[in-house]
DNA sequence: CGTACAACCTCTAGCGACTGGAGGTTCAAG
DNA sequence: CTTGAACCTCCAGTCGCTAGAGGTTGTACG
């Protein structure tokens, strides 16, 4: 009862080359092979891929995910580290949101101020040319 | 009255290798050289670098910047295109903020639900392992 | 059992936007 | 004229994939 890479891909939504890539970087153990050297995945491999998928969807970096996966393998340990990683990631996300929001404000200001005339009078171009932002 | 690459770097806040990189990808014209093949930048080159710097700070991609630079060279044209690029970029920023905000909500939910016990009971790990996010 | 062909394999290169290093040369101050 | 900081080129690495070339295997159908 095992899956070819394409089936694993369909089940997890992770593209075939990406699954091989994950194996290459050591995020996923090399699976068993058929005699013809084709990969065959077991249910737990697919579960691991799903885990990776969800973590990626939440924006975790590969290094975070590797740690989370390792931690998830010791179910009796304290989850302190797990929560730490998650909170750290959350604050990264917060920082990015703040940065983008500041950016957004500036962009809105620029388009609002533009009187839609000549490039030479365009506030957008003026702002970008300005001495120091 | 021209500047060595290090001076251009100090004046614009763009690192030396990045300036060379910009030249390599054609964003910046190859400047004049000394007899010893060292780059010498003129005031307008530094201005162009400042423009690039500000646009990068606002999150514009290189392709956008190339277009904006080209447009800024025809000051008598209508600034319609400039505004179009800016508005398009603004909506990209909006989309990214929305995505990050959704992500953030989920992360907050996860850490909130965690009761800080065993990894085996951790909601963070559970959520990441869940069938479909 | 033979054949067709989808799916698999490895390997390499490319994306965007830089960044860093090695190893060698030039400029300018003293 | 010497020193050494700053310059030069070229190459590799970052992150997380993605795509392609060119060849092999698994399987379903006749
Ligand atoms: Zn993170
Ligand atoms: Zn305008
Ligand atoms: Zn954009
Ligand atoms: Zn927990």
Q: How buried is residue A111: exposed, middle or buried, by Cβ count under 10 Å (0-12/13-18/19+)? A: middle
* A50/B83 Cβ within 8 A: no
Q: Assign domain A1-77 to a CATH class.
A: mainly alpha
At residue B71, the 3 state secondary structure works out as: helix
Q: pLDDT tens for residues B44-102?
A: 999 999 999 999 999 999 999 999 999 999 999 999 999 999 999 999 999 999 999 99
At residue B1, the 3 state secondary structure works out as: coil
Within 7 Å: CB of B38 and strand D? Answer: yes
Query: Near strand C (CB < 7 A), which residues?
Result: A 4-7, 9, 16-17, 20, 37-39; B 4, 15, 17-18, 21, 34-38, 56, 61-63
pLDDT at B132: 55
* B83/A122 Cβ within 8 A: yes
Q: How many CB atoms are closer than 10 A to CB A68?
A: 23
pLDDT at A76 over 60: yes
Q: pLDDT tens for residues B28-53?
A: 999 999 999 999 999 999 999 999 99
CA distances from B83 to B67, B68, B122 (A): 12, 10, 49
pLDDT at B133: 44
Angle at B6 between CA B3 and CA B12, to 5 degrees: 80
Q: pLDDT tens for residues A107-117?
A: 999 999 998 89
pTM, rounded to two decimals: 0.90
**pLDDT band, residue A131 (cuts 50/70/90):** low
pLDDT at A1: 77
pLDDT at A53 over 90: yes
pLDDT at A130: 81
Q: How far is the CA of A79 from the centre of ligand 4 (A)?
A: 5
């Amino acid at each position: 009862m095992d899956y070819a890479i394409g089936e694993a891909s369909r089940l997890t939504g992770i593209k075939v080359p990406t699954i091989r890539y994950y194996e290459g970087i050591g995020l996923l153990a090399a699976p068993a092979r058929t005699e013809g050297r084709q990969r065959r995945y077991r249910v737990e491999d697919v579960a691991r891929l799903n885990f990776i998928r969800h973590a990626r969807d939440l924006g975790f970096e590969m290094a975070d995910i590797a740690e989370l996966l390792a931690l998830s393998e010791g179910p009796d340990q304290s989850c302190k580290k797990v929560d730490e990683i998650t909170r750290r990631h959350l604050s990264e996300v917060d920082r990015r949101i703040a940065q983008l929001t500041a950016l957004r404000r500036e962009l809105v200001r620029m388009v609002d101020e533009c009187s839609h005339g000549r490039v030479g009078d365009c506030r957008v171009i003026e702002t970008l040319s300005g001495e120091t932002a």
